Amino acid sequence: MIEFDNNIPVYIQILNFLKEKIVKRDLKEGDKMPSVRELAKELKVNPNTVQRAYKDLESSNIIFTKRGMGSFVTEDKLKINDLREDLAKEIILEFSTRMKNMGFNKEEMIEVINSFVEGD
Amino acid sequence: MIEFDNNIPVYIQILNFLKEKIVKRDLKEGDKMPSVRELAKELKVNPNTVQRAYKDLESSNIIFTKRGMGSFVTEDKLKINDLREDLAKEIILEFSTRMKNMGFNKEEMIEVINSFVEGD
Amino acid sequence: MIEFDNNIPVYIQILNFLKEKIVKRDLKEGDKMPSVRELAKELKVNPNTVQRAYKDLESSNIIFTKRGMGSFVTEDKLKINDLREDLAKEIILEFSTRMKNMGFNKEEMIEVINSFVEGD
Amino acid sequence: MIEFDNNIPVYIQILNFLKEKIVKRDLKEGDKMPSVRELAKELKVNPNTVQRAYKDLESSNIIFTKRGMGSFVTEDKLKINDLREDLAKEIILEFSTRMKNMGFNKEEMIEVINSFVEGD
DNA sequence: GTGGTCTAGACCACG
DNA sequence: GTGGTCTAGACCACC
């Protein structure tokens, strides 16, 4: 389930959610994507909104569609690797920019992650 | 200057930008805020948009307005400290959530910051 | 094999493909049409989709069906001549309309065909 | 006004219509595009449908948007030249493919254009 | 006024 | 069942 942020378009958040799933390999190369209607029901949004996210994924060749059969993750592992890198860079860039704006340097960022993030 | 992200309302981005300035102490307790018109001109947006960000800052008591004299950063240092913590937590939470969604653990996050973020 | 255009229904594209075959006389008056299943397999589509194209051809009397024996091209040469003219007109009309919309006149159209189309 | 072909998505037809306008220089570099609502009204379609075509144009950098002010044709003349070439090639390719499928050679295509297309 | 997002609900093509 | 298109109508951010 996604906690939607009201300030960002829902379809963009779904798009990112799906990209993360693929990068995390919850959805692997060639895997069938959840159907538009199914995911819409699960996320409690209109099917059109999910559809929009899927179309964006398709136009960046991250998923492809077989008519009447559903959508599938690309078979191209390189594409997925690129996605992983691009997505990570985007996330880190936003984080580091805002932290720098607040006056944190690299060491302080690491320190703060060490103390606030749970897990190994 | 701000690099605006088309998917987030501009007034929210200006709001965050100003909060970061205050946290960084570019704008200190009691300092005069730039005038709405001036900032609007600098950021190349409509004054209404800046006004909206100021209104939000005022309603969270981060700035206050003296009639005819402009807006000023709160005199309350505790308030600013709270802002610093809240903002940092928000930024870190978003970062760590997305990175976890991608399958990164704490160590990998630190590694990636070490290699991608410039500076000391 | 057909290069399917995703923006046009597949059965329409198959319909046109078959009309063109008949006009070209790859399929002559009275010739047996390929079986629905066979063509479906060759084109890698569902038999229903081919069936739909055949039904359209039949309802315009371009092919007819002998029960248990398959489908056949009409024996009526006039019908085929009409088809040739109609189809050619349709294709030329669409081409010239779009080229005119782009600002090409007749001479420029011919010039462009001369330079881009291969063959004698 | 557009004569819509029922077998092609309306937003694709609007997309092509606008591309042709730009290539023909009815809409020049930097020109304001008709507003989404205005065009929707003129074409008697839902604003969402026009919006979709505009979004496609924007994502291929043919138009750009100024918040609250409207959409504008790119300032980049090279982009428009590319568009002209791509569009022409696409139209010619479809034409020549279908004509070849019907058994016409290059000379016959030219002949047929000479006799059927009006104008100089 | 401008573009942009979203919902509810319908219909289509394809398997 | 699948994805894809379209409408009617609402609400938002921005100028």
For chain B, how big is the Rg over CA atoms in Å?
Answer: 17
B4 lies in some domain: no
Give D114 to chain C, closest Cα distance, Å: 7
pLDDT of residue D118 exceeding 90:
no
The dihedral formed by the CA atoms of B68, B72, B75 and B79, expressed in degrees to the nearest 10:
130
D3 lies in some domain: no
From chain A residues 89-108, the ones with a CB under 8 A of any chain B CB are: 89, 91-96, 98-107
Q: How far apart are CA B106 and CA A110, in angstroms?
A: 10
What per-residue confidence (pLDDT) applies to C18? 97
What per-residue confidence (pLDDT) applies to B115? 93
Q: What is the pLDDT of residues B38-79, one digit of tens each?
A: 999 999 999 999 999 999 999 999 999 998 899 999 999 999
B5 lies in some domain: no
Q: For residue C81, what pLDDT band results from cuts at 50, 70 and 90?
A: very high
Pick from A7, A87, A109: CB nearest B113 = A109
pLDDT of residue C120 exceeding 70:
no
SS3 at position B67: coil
Residue B49 backbone phi and psi in degrees, to 5: -70, -40
Judge whether residue A30 contacts strand E, using its CB and a 7 Å cut-off. Answer: no
Give me the percent of chain A exceeding a pLDDT of 90: 94
Across-strand partners of D72? D32, D64
pTM of the model: 0.93
Q: What CATH number is associated with residue D110?
A: 1.10.10.10
User: What single-letter amino acid sits at D120?
Assistant: D
In chain D, positions 23-82 with C-beta closer than 7 Å to nucleic chain E are: 33-38, 47-48, 51, 54-55, 58, 65, 67-71
A2 lies in some domain: no
* Cβ atoms within 10 Å of A90's Cβ, excluding its own: 13
pLDDT of residue A120 exceeding 70:
no
What per-residue confidence (pLDDT) applies to D1? 79
What per-residue confidence (pLDDT) applies to B1? 81
B110 lies in some domain: yes
User: What single-letter amino acid sits at D95?
Assistant: F
Nearest 5 degrees, angle CA B70-CA B75-CA B78?
140
Q: What is the DSSP code string of B34-49? A: PPHHHHHHHHTS-HHH
Q: What is the pLDDT of residues A39-73, one digit of tens each?
A: 999 999 999 999 999 999 999 999 999 999 999 99
Q: For residue B118, what pLDDT band results from cuts at 50, 70 and 90?
A: confident
What per-residue confidence (pLDDT) applies to A39? 98
Q: List bases in chain F with any atom under 7 Å of a protein Cβ.
A: 1-10, 12-15
Q: What is the DSSP code string of B78-112? A: HHHHHHHHHHHHHHHHHHHHHHHHTT--HHHHHHH
What per-residue confidence (pLDDT) applies to B120? 65
Alpha carbon distance, N-terminus to C-terminus of chain B: 24
Chain C, nearest residue to D112 by Cα: C92
Q: How far apart are CA C56 and CA C62, in angstroms?
A: 9
pLDDT of residue D120 exceeding 70:
no
Q: What is the pLDDT of residues C12-57, one digit of tens each?
A: 999 999 999 999 999 999 999 999 999 999 999 999 999 999 999 9
Nearest 5 degrees, angle CA C26-CA C32-CA C33?
70
pLDDT of residue C10 exceeding 80:
yes
Across-strand partners of C72? C32, C64
What per-residue confidence (pLDDT) applies to A1? 79
Measure Cα distances from A43 to A1, A55, A65, B99 in Å. Answer: 6, 17, 21, 21
C16 lies in some domain: yes
Nucleotide at minimal C1' distance from the A67 CA: E14
- Angle of helix A47-59 relative to helix A36-43, nearest 10 degrees, comes to 120
Burial (Cβ within 10 Å: 0-12, 13-18, ≥19) of residue B75? exposed
Q: What is the pLDDT of residues D9-43, one digit of tens each?
A: 999 999 999 999 999 999 999 999 999 999 999 99
Query: In whole numbers, what is the pLDDT of chain C averaged over residues?
Result: 95
Number of domains making up chain C: 1
What per-residue confidence (pLDDT) applies to D55? 97
Q: What is the pLDDT of residues D56-90, one digit of tens each?
A: 999 999 999 999 999 999 999 999 999 999 999 99
C3 lies in some domain: no
C4 lies in some domain: no
Range of the structural domain that residue A79 is part of = 10-116
- Angle of helix A106-116 relative to helix A77-101, nearest 10 degrees, comes to 110
SS3 at position A64: strand
What per-residue confidence (pLDDT) applies to D46? 98
Which chains sit next to A, with 3 or more Cβ pairs under 8 A? B
